[in-house]
Chain A
Amino acid sequence: MEVVKIMTKEKFQSFWNKFGTLCILIVLFIAFSIGSPKFFPQPANLIQCLLQSTVYILLAFGEFFAILLGGIDLSVGAVACFSGIIVADLSLQGVPPFICLIIGLLGAVLFGFINGVLINALDLHPFVVTLGTNTIFRGICLVMTGGNPLFNLPKWVKGLSTYIVGIPKPVIYAAVIGVILVAFTTKTVAGRNLYALGGNKQSAWYSGINIKKYTVLAHILSGLFAGIGGIVMLARVGAAEPTAGDGYETYAIAACIIGGASLFGGKGRIWGVVLGGITIGTINNGLNIMNVSAFWQKIVMGSLIIASVALEKLISNKVKK
């Protein structure tokens, strides 16, 4: 409290804006360290924790662009599953790895494109459109696999998620993509236009920004990162399940919101999304370590998501008053 008193309200607000998610993460870290001092804070587990976070982070990257425009994408879980199935299927047919990955990602991008085009053409809220396409995409996954998992995949698939100098490759992928996206959102004209569009669609239109094309772009990006997330999931599991990623859209959305993105659009940072994803991964990991049953984990996870966002709102409201 001493810190709060010293800082002015505005300063505290801007501090919380920048570091709020980090504070929540630190609180969780301390809580789990107290709960399981022998296992949780160990370096090996922390790396594991990061690895668990990568899929959430990657899906949240995509979700972030949909949310940035004031929309949402409920289909990221199904899109992730789809790209995994394509890569698995092609790899079983002996297609070279690079081509498998490209086609898998193109499939995910295509799904994102379909979302964007439908939102524009039907002039419907992204919630409704992606609620529908989520089920359709999931159905396509089930039809393609006949409902059975694809396994006995070539070795290179698992090789996508091995370690380099003690760091899991997926963590490196996420880090590299994160850096690229930070640059994209803060340094490019297209990135800034997405924020403008999220802030006020009509002002953006009257400033010369093409609303429809940018909506498609946001959903293509959403599809692309869901696809990358799906391939990482595939590599970690070593098999393509037609139900993989089911419900992951909630984690992706939660990661964005915890990371400071606003559902009204125009607000949020990639850096925050990364921390949001790590928060979800940490909750997951910490509860596992503390031997909380998988059933209870869901209840705790949901409550923590609400609590962390409520805390954020509580603090920013307090500051405003």
Chain B
Amino acid sequence: MEYLKMNNITMKFPGVVALDNVSFDLKLGEVHVLLGENGAGKSTLVKILSGINTPTSGEITINGKAVSNLTPKESADNKIAIIYQELSVVDNLSIAENMFLGKLPTKKKMGITVVDREFMYAESEKYLKEIGLKKNPSTLVQDISISEKQQVEIAKALCSNAKVIIMDEPTSSLSIDETKNLFKIIGHLKKNNIGIIYISHKLPEIKEIGDRVTILKDGKYVKTLNISDLEVKDLVPLMIGREIKDKFVGTKREIVPDEQPTFVVKNLTRKDGTCKNINFEVYKGEILGFAGLIGAGRSECMEGIFGAKTISSGEVYYNGKKLEIHNPYDAMKQGIAMVTENRRETGFFPNFPIWKEIAVSTSLKKSTLGGFTGMVQTKSEKNIAEKFTKKLNTKCTGINQMTYNLSGGNQQKVIISKWLAVNSNIFIFDEPTKGIDVGAKSEIYAIMRSMAEEGKTIIMVSSEMPELLSTCDRIIVFRDGEISGILNSDEATEEKIMLAAVHLN
């Protein structure tokens, strides 16, 4: 008998259908894996179960009772606990306090209500023992490791009598031994009749601990399978493989034999280890794509090239000349541009109109002493802004409009204009169409292709495989901070990319 049932769930956000008629169920004592590539709808499903999002339509039944609109409180009342990838323990509280967060046990002492520490410690001790975490409950959470924090979250779930525990990529930051330990704990939870929804990209571990798997693709339900009946490799085609392959935008740029690459990256390694020993080359007029799962280290690698984050080793060559890049200023001066992933955080200035936005880097490039001298050339800056706003067809009331008030796609065009105005040659686009509506997306692809045709060299990091396949000449695949494959766009398929992006053994 299923403890949890979700029937025909549809979740619409403005402009996007995140879940389209998806069904899912969970029995007590099983591990049910949710599988799908970036943006398949796994997180949305979890958010519905946690009560953060209310589905547009569909039914949820928990323990035989229909619950239409789950709130976070009702979700907890129905014994659902969620362990997010970004752990949500409070660092400056003790293990026991974290486990009893929001429901501290109290007692009366001389007529005053105080926290019942003895009870709290004894109770937490019990659950810590159950999952095998040998720590004193009074230890501050900031003093324990990540995997121990995760175990505290599991103990917290047990402490609240959870029947359903959702784990969102729980092994993404665990070592091999820690992963083994987690699986042992999961085995124990199963024996105690707790149902687990397990989200992971690591196919081998799915085989190891999963009972059933449900595959989602583009917000649609694909299949639910018994894991014992299948081979790990069989899952990949189910996660991808759209019927219609998007048409290639523009004409592909072929590399001529003996051609020298214009931009070369050698042995790039970041101090924090998010990318290791990266080597690649790009040709003039080419669009080179970077595929991989979220967190594979692609953006981190680009930030390293651009000088925005420190690298421990690595060299960058442009037309055979070695570039010295210590910060984005150096990169900008030498013709490298970066259109970042998060426009709001790292892209534009909320206090600037379009023309100033576009002028910032240009005026810096002309300036000397590291960007401290020089006068603002309002007239020519406005002319340049007019020119690029027209060229990229940016929809705005005029160049005096605040960038802040534009739509995502038009903000992106303003940021691209900024780098075109600087006359950059190497363009790094990090998720260029994130948060942009479909119409504007194809405009951005067209802009990128025409830039390449004008002789710019383009790097495109994207987590959306269809856009990589329809836009890029070649595709490099990242896995765990390293390059795991290079594909030519003629031969590239979603399946080949996915095989390189996930762990098969």
Contacts and interface: CB of A to CB of B under 8 A. Distances in A.
Interface string A200-214: 101111111110010
Interface string A180-221: 000000111111110110111011111111100100010000
Given A199-B349, A199-B352, A200-B350, A207 B375 contact: no
Contact of A207 (B328, B345, B367, B374): B328
Contacts of A236: none
Interface residues of B, number: 35
B441 interface: no
Which secondary structure dominates chain A's binding surface? Answer: helix
A266 B370 contact: no
B440 interface: no
Nearest to B338: A206
Contact of A213 (B364, B367, B370): B370
Interface stretch (B80-88, B261-269, B355-363, B489-497): B355-363
Contacts of B333: 208
B290 interface: no
A206 B376 contact: no
Contacts of A190: 367, 371-374
A174 B93 CA distance: 52
Contact of B371 (A199, A206, A208): A208
A209 B418 CA distance: 14
A196 B371 contact: no
A209 to B, nearest CB: 6
Contact of A192 (B327, B338, B350, B363): B363
A188 B328 contact: no
A190 to B, nearest CB: 5
Contact of A266 (B350, B361, B364, B371): B350
Contact of A208 (B332, B346, B347, B376): B332
Contacts of B332: 207-208
B352 A210 contact: no
A188 B375 contact: yes
Interface in A146-198: 186-193, 195-196, 198
Given A198-B351, A200-B350, A208 B329 contact: yes
A190 B368 CA distance: 11
Contacts of B370: 210, 213
Contacts of A196: 349, 352, 356, 360
Interface string B393-433: 00000000000000000000000001000000000000000
B345 A189 contact: no
B364 A193 contact: yes
A210 B340 CA distance: 17
Contacts of B356: 192, 196
Contact of A206 (B346, B365, B372): B346
B346 A189 contact: no
B329 A210 contact: yes
Contacts of B367: 189-190
A208 B189 CA distance: 52
B428 to A, nearest CB: 11
Contact of A187 (B331, B359, B366, B375): B375
Given A189-B371, A190-B372, A210-B370, A203 B351 contact: no
A192 B367 CA distance: 12
A207 B328 CA distance: 7
A-B pairs, 4 with minimum CB distance:
A199-B349, A199-B351, A208-B332, A266-B351
Given A189-B372, A209-B364, 4 more contacts: A189-B364, A191-B376, A203-B349, A207-B332
Interface of B: 306, 308, 327-329, 331-333, 338, 340, 345-352, 356, 359-361, 363-367, 370-376, 418
Interface of A: 186-193, 195-196, 198-200, 202-210, 213, 217, 266-267
29 contacts: A186-B376, A187-B375, A188-B375, A189-B366, A189-B367, A189-B371, A189-B374, A190-B373, A190-B374, A192-B360, A192-B376, A196-B352, A198-B351, A199-B352, A202-B346, A203-B345, A203-B347, A203-B349, A204-B349, A205-B346, A206-B347, A207-B418, A208-B327, A208-B365, A208-B371, A209-B329, A210-B371, A213-B370, A213-B372
